[in-house]
Structure 1
Amino acid sequence: MAVSNGVAMPGVLVSPRLRPFVVAFLLLQECVQLSCCGSRLAFLPGFEGPLPFHLETGYVAVGESEEIQLFYYFVESERNSKEDALFLWLTGGPGCSALSGLIYEIGPLNFNIKAYDRSLPEFVLNPYSWTKASSIIFVDSPVGTGFSYAENPLAYETGDFRQVQHLHQFLRRWLISHPEFISNPVYIGGDSYSGLTLPILVQEIMDGNDEGKSPAINIQGYVLGNPLTDPAFDQNAPVLFAHGMGLISDELYESLKRTCKGHYQFSESSDADCMNDLMAFHQCTSGLQTAHILEPLCGYASLKPGEMFGDRRSLLENFFLVREPTDLDLGCRTYGYRLSYSWTNDDNVREALHIRKGSIGDWQRCNDGLNYTNEILSTLQYHAKLSAKGCRSLIYSGDHDMIVPFMGTQAWIRSLNYSIVDDWRSWMVRGQVAG
């Protein structure tokens, strides 16, 4: 047995000049065994003409027995895919499909709501796509999300830590099948509930590199938007936010501070006066679209007391059960989500995406019926450890999100006692203050 730089071949001495080719061969051989290669899509139902960017879809097998098939969409950078950053993007939930990130958030396509005529939804290009400057893998995770499925029913039982483990396996195996991206700088990105799993995933990747796992991942940092991080900050922030935005009176706010003593969560141990104030708070804010308070509620059933403060953050899309898309104002964000159901459940679309027949039933944008255990309460210590290791991070917040308000995010960042390098300054867009 000859061993050279971790490459072992029975009875063969490997020339130093050939080692890179041998490593690539072994990685590709492992990829074949793992069934982790995808298919490129030149055309997509709903988009007229050939796609002006590289889109690939596929599955990567993960789990102890590789019984879990995680589905992904991959879009290459439209600038310089050989050098630009590679993102692994995690959608919140847990249980919300990666298609949300691809179509509604940072990907190169948007549904053309204005042109919708009750047939297959059509697409327009998104001029603000992050793929203008980076390659992005959008993965349906955890299992049971989007088009991801398990070959063993027992494998659908999952949770925070198992999801992290599977995502770690996914990324290394995806890179094995895409060796041209192994040297690219890698960032992990996500929003909402991903704030509780993403920092741990980054830590796992760095630990795996230290342990010599192959291929090494050129991890450089992570990006989080309106992330859940720690209940002491996240769950108290909506009351502070509502008062700051003028949504509740000064009198109610002062009473909440007095009766709840700064802890604004529904619980069995809450003081009766505190509970009454929290109920009053709910009555004042129940008519809001809490994901974006300036947008209409669009038929969502009002949140029940305590749901705004709960652990599960995936929105219940009640409109899907109540009304057909022909009756909806698709200009409303939440009704616009209905188009994704019409598109993904079309047989021609599934064939184009190379979805395995019989792998799932009806596609759901957010699967609120996952057999999922919420195990992580706080990731503050992971942020501290990662920054101490020199891992870069960018935390951003929408200023009208009342589910994970920016005030809570600012508070937990301050608690880390970082040195301030740059003073607070306006965010300028085309010469105008945008935030």
Structure 2
Amino acid sequence: CLPVWWISVLIVCLSSPLAGREAWNYVEVRDGAHMFWWLYYADCQSVQSRDLPLVLWLQGGPGGSGTGFGNFEEIGPLTRDLEPRKSSWVQAASVLFVDNPVGTGFSYAQNPEAFATDVSTVASDMLVLLQSFFTERTEFQSVPFYIFSESYGGKMAAAISLEVTKAVSQGTLKCVFAGVALGDSWISPLGELVLRGVLTRSSSLLDDFGLQDVNAAAAAVKQAVEQQQFLKATELWSVTETVVEQNTNGVNFYNILTQQPDDRLSSPDDDFISLQTRRHLRPLYRQSLSELMNGPIRKKLGIVPQNVTWGGQAEQVFSSMSGDFMRPVVDVVDRLLAAGVNVTVYNGQLDLIVDTLGQELWVKRLKWDGLPAFNQLRWTALDDPASPGVTGAFYKTYKNFAFYWILKAGHMIPADQGPMALQMLKMITQQV
């Protein structure tokens, strides 16, 4: 039985101005593999939605829900309390949230074989969904289409963007693909680990002994990756995080200025899958958000199967992808750049799990022919829209590549620095 206040909130949600400006549906992308999408049409006073771009948002994990966390915690029109979000991306674009891979959020797998095991399958599944979406919503076939992502969503976004580029050129997908933005993205996992000790030590969160411990743990991961033992590398990556946690007294991987909540700290009874679920999926399925999604939102949507619970298969999603988790996709980014796709990298200053130093490391190793000229450029400061005169970010761009350094933000940039993230969106989509 829902509390009275939840019922009141639901009524407000259903009767809000968003009514008629949203759409959602399921697509069966493979036998037994069902993916859920939720669209918000752009809501701008001065410009009609058909004149604004379409943005696909991809969450991390793998197993984090875009329709839940990305929507209600970061960029959607309403907050978790169903109040209007001042920095919602719907002001500048129509936003499409998709729960992927299969089994994430309201998406679901009917059998164990339906879960994706690698990013290639994730990309092919998304292509099927997008073909269905653009066929059903023909009004979006002629507007600029961007893919924005966060965390592991960036790894998926890179692979998906390559499939989209191929499909558009072959005529099997009708859309105007305008670019991909990789936010705090898991593109080169090893690079992130190698520099994690350096960042933590320079932030006075490790002493020399702790730095030695972290570097030794990272070296073991490096060896496993070099030997192409990616499942072992994922397990050792989990060990490395435990070493960091123990030596920093529980630093929060999502923001180095805070402490890890007690319920995410390692336990002797945890295997590495349950431990990583505790650390990196639980924040995306916090209790208050789960109550919202499995209560009022589920009732509002009206199409979620009775046996499907929002987030109920998240751990299985991560487990199925664990053998592919540590595999880099830097080569995919190179292929996108070579194909002329607009690629943006953006990262939060306070992120530890995907630290900016690690992002810069793999960027400097790109084979893209524009890299030497890009490296010679100085960055440009951007004012924080919420605090004029205060620097909120730096950026630089050359040809079809751009990098944004977002200050005072951790892993979830739109949640930490909403106005700055919205400004970046407008710049990338050429609205300012």
| Structure 2 counterparts to residues 304-383 of structure 1, below 5 A | 315-316=277-278, 334=283, 337-346=286-295, 348-360=296-308, 362-364=309-311, 367-370=314-317, 372-373=320-321, 374-375=323-324, 377-383=327-333
Distance 1:408 1:251 in 2: 22
Distance 1:319 1:372 in 2: 14
Distance 1:231 1:319 in 2: 17
Q: 1:385 to 1:280 in 2, by over 3 A?
A: closer
**CA displacement at 1:235 relative to structure 2:** 1.7
| Structure 2 counterparts to residues 150-165 of structure 1, below 5 A | 150-151=109-110, 154-156=113-115, 158-165=117-124
**CA displacement at 1:402 relative to structure 2:** 0.9
| Structure 2 counterparts to residues 130-145 of structure 1, below 5 A | 130-145=89-104
Structure 1, unaligned runs of 5 or more = 1-42, 113-122, 270-275, 321-333
Distance 2:164 2:252 in 1: 36
Match of 1:207 among 131, 153, 166: 166
Alignment pair present for 1:291 and 2:238: no
Higher percent of residues as helix = 2
Deviations 1:108-157 (A, max 9, x none): 11123xxxxxxxxxx11111111110111101111111111244553235
Alignment pair present for 1:88 and 2:53: no
> SS at the partner of 1:363?
coil
TM-score (norm 1): 0.72
Alignment pair present for 1:216 and 2:178: no
Distance 1:248 1:153 in 2: 42
Partner amino acid, structure 1, of 2:73: Y
C-alpha contact (below 8 Å) 1:96/1:314 kept by paired residues = no
C-alpha contact (below 8 Å) 1:190/1:223 kept by paired residues = yes
Q: 1:410 to 1:124 in 2, by over 3 A?
A: same
What residue is the counterpart of 1:331 in the other structure? none
What residue is the counterpart of 1:109 in the other structure? 78
Is 291-300 or 148-157 further displaced after alignment? 148-157
Percent of aligned positions that are identical: 23
What residue is the counterpart of 1:423 in the other structure? 378
What residue is the counterpart of 1:169 in the other structure? 128
Distance 2:89 2:76 in 1: 6
C-alpha contact (below 8 Å) 2:190/2:222 kept by paired residues = no
C-alpha contact (below 8 Å) 2:80/2:292 kept by paired residues = no
Q: 1:245 to 1:365 in 2, by over 3 A?
A: farther
Match of 2:69 among 69, 90, 100: 100
| Structure 2 counterparts to residues 252-267 of structure 1, below 5 A | 252-253=210-211, 255=212, 260=216, 263=219, 265=221
Q: 1:313 to 1:59 in 2, by over 3 A?
A: farther
Structure 2, unaligned runs of 5 or more = 1-7, 228-238, 393-406, 408-432
Match of 1:184 among 130, 143, 147: 143
Q: 1:56 to 1:44 in 2, by over 3 A?
A: farther
Distance 2:277 2:255 in 1: 12
Distance 1:142 1:159 in 2: 10
**CA displacement at 1:267 relative to structure 2:** 6.9
Deviations 1:40-95 (A, max 9, x none): xxx972645732332222112212x4x42211111111123212111111111111
Alignment pair present for 1:395 and 2:345: yes
Distance 2:92 2:15 in 1: 21
C-alpha contact (below 8 Å) 2:148/2:157 kept by paired residues = yes
C-alpha contact (below 8 Å) 1:68/1:155 kept by paired residues = yes
C-alpha contact (below 8 Å) 1:96/1:366 kept by paired residues = no
Alignment pair present for 1:69 and 2:22: no
Distance 2:280 2:337 in 1: 40
Deviations 1:406-433 (A, max 9, x none): 1100111122261227412333211112
Q: 1:220 to 1:358 in 2, by over 3 A?
A: same
Distance 2:258 2:378 in 1: 32
> SS at the partner of 1:128?
coil
Q: 1:433 to 1:312 in 2, by over 3 A?
A: farther
Distance 1:82 1:406 in 2: 35
Distance 2:112 2:142 in 1: 37
C-alpha contact (below 8 Å) 2:242/2:266 kept by paired residues = no
Distance 1:312 1:212 in 2: 42
Distance 1:318 1:87 in 2: 24
Distance 1:141 1:335 in 2: 13
Alignment pair present for 1:242 and 2:196: no
Partner amino acid, structure 1, of 2:63: G
C-alpha contact (below 8 Å) 2:55/2:145 kept by paired residues = yes
Distance 1:91 1:278 in 2: 21
Distance 1:355 1:244 in 2: 50
Distance 1:280 1:298 in 2: 16
Partner amino acid, structure 2, of 1:142: P
TM-score (norm 2): 0.73
Alignment pair present for 1:405 and 2:355: yes
**CA displacement at 1:231 relative to structure 2:** 2.9
Distance 2:58 2:241 in 1: 32
C-alpha contact (below 8 Å) 1:345/1:363 kept by paired residues = yes
**Larger Rg belongs to:** 1
